Amino acid sequence: MFAALDLGTNNCRLLIAHQTRHGFRVIDGFSRIVRLGEGVSEAGTLSDKAIDRTVEALKICAKKMGRRRVSKSRCVATQAARSAKNSPYFVERVKEEAGIDLEIITSQEEAELTLTGCFPLLDRSQDHALMFDVGGGSAEFVWARILPDGGAQVDGWTSLPCGVVTLTEQHGGSDFSPDEYEKLILDVVDMLRSFDEQHGISHHIAEEKVQMVGTAGTVTTIAGVDMCLPRYNRSVVDGAWLSFDAVARISGELSVQNYDQRAAHPCIGHNRADLVVAGCAVLEAVCRLWPAGQLRVADRGVREGILSVMVGQPQASFTAVTPLAAG
């Protein structure tokens, strides 16, 4: 029995699976919004309250892994833990109180595992894939060549400080005026221009030889809203196609709503209502810079990538690339 745990800036997520002939089958899971990275962009450290919330969630994960008799696990933490000065203290507390060995991975490995987890969604008829993961603390962008076997080789990647928690905290609140929202879109576009120019992504987009794949909460939330789901349903959202017209329409609507109006939507709720507008701005920036017309929605990523590697499936490989500096 295998387990993969992904502790991000906003979420703590666990999958437990057993190996099958063609990969793995998930039999149990856990997901909770813990907001580990709350305040990190300003204070530079994980707060006591955030650590307490996260440790309690990790205790639940440890109990689930124990009950399922997990024989092999990998538990990783990403941007919030990478950037916080007191991460060693946090990792020690997790070990002592939850019994979990937490590994803080680099942004490159995070991108690698996320792409690996998205392999089943890649279209082999396309030449390239542009995958983006808008997380809580950062956003990862991966430019990869799609291989005949369905895997991919990464030609370029970058990690930018435009996660939804980071942008919302920098703004000082969850509500944006139309001018502020437009400025945020343009700022993110500017962040991405050098990555685009370095790899000629716009040229490939114009030739219609690129599949775009979006993962993490913003993309899946917008997809759920577009489908008018009465409640979020991963089995319906994962692998769906989302048009850029829908992105512009829904993002525009959400950007002018207040917190309570956003929270009233069943696919958003109170847990995401304060962060979704910043996420919409990043998503709109992606759509404006790279007008592919549609993207594949992925409610999968690091955890699925970890499990894939555990059962011996191919992993995303990197060519000799140097990550583009953030910003």
Domain boundaries, the chain: 2-105, 108-318
Q: Provide the b/e sequence for 20-44 (b: ≥16 CB within 10 Å).
A: eeeebeeeebbebbbbbbbbbbeee
> Token match 């700022």: residue?
187
- H/E stretch holding 243 reads strand 241-243
Confirm or reject CATH 3.40.50.2300 for domain 2-105, answering yes or no: no
**How many Å apart are CA 303 and CA 281, to the nearest integer?**
26
Tokens at 279, concatenated: 């996420």
Q: 2-105 and 108-318 share one CATH topology?
A: yes
The residues with which 153 forms a beta bridge, in sequence order, are: 145, 317
Helices and strands (H, E) in the chain, number of each type: 15, 12
Residue by residue, pLDDT tens for the chain (327 residues) are 999 999 998 889 999 999 998 889 999 999 998 989 888 878 899 999 999 999 999 999 999 999 999 999 999 999 889 989 999 999 999 999 999 999 999 988 888 898 899 888 988 888 999 999 888 778 889 999 988 876 788 899 898 887 787 788 777 677 788 999 999 999 999 999 999 999 999 999 999 999 999 988 889 999 999 999 999 998 899 999 999 999 999 999 999 999 999 999 998 988 889 889 999 999 999 999 999 999 999 999 899 999 999 998 877 777 655 455 444
CB of 27 closer than 8 Å to CB of 16:
yes
List, in sequence order, the alpha helices (H) in the chain.
40-43, 48-67, 79-83, 87-98, 107-117, 164-171, 178-199, 201-206, 217-226, 234-237, 244-255, 259-263, 269-272, 276-289, 302-310
Q: Which of 136, 23, 134 is nearest to 77 (CA)?
A: 136
The CATH architecture annotation of domain 108-318 reads 2-Layer Sandwich (3.30)
CB of 228 closer than 8 Å to CB of 146:
no
Q: By CB neighbour count within 10 A (0-12 exposed, 13-18 middle, 19+ buried), where does 18 fall?
A: middle
Give the pLDDT confidence score for residue 112 in this predicted structure. Answer: 87
**How many Å apart are CA 270 and CA 263, to the nearest integer?**
5
Give the pLDDT confidence score for residue 162 in this predicted structure. Answer: 79
Rounded to two decimals, the pTM is 0.83
Give the pLDDT confidence score for residue 326 in this predicted structure. Answer: 45
Q: How far is CA 129 from the centre of its chain?
A: 16
Q: Which of 218, 107, 114, 215 is nearest to 168 (CA)?
A: 218
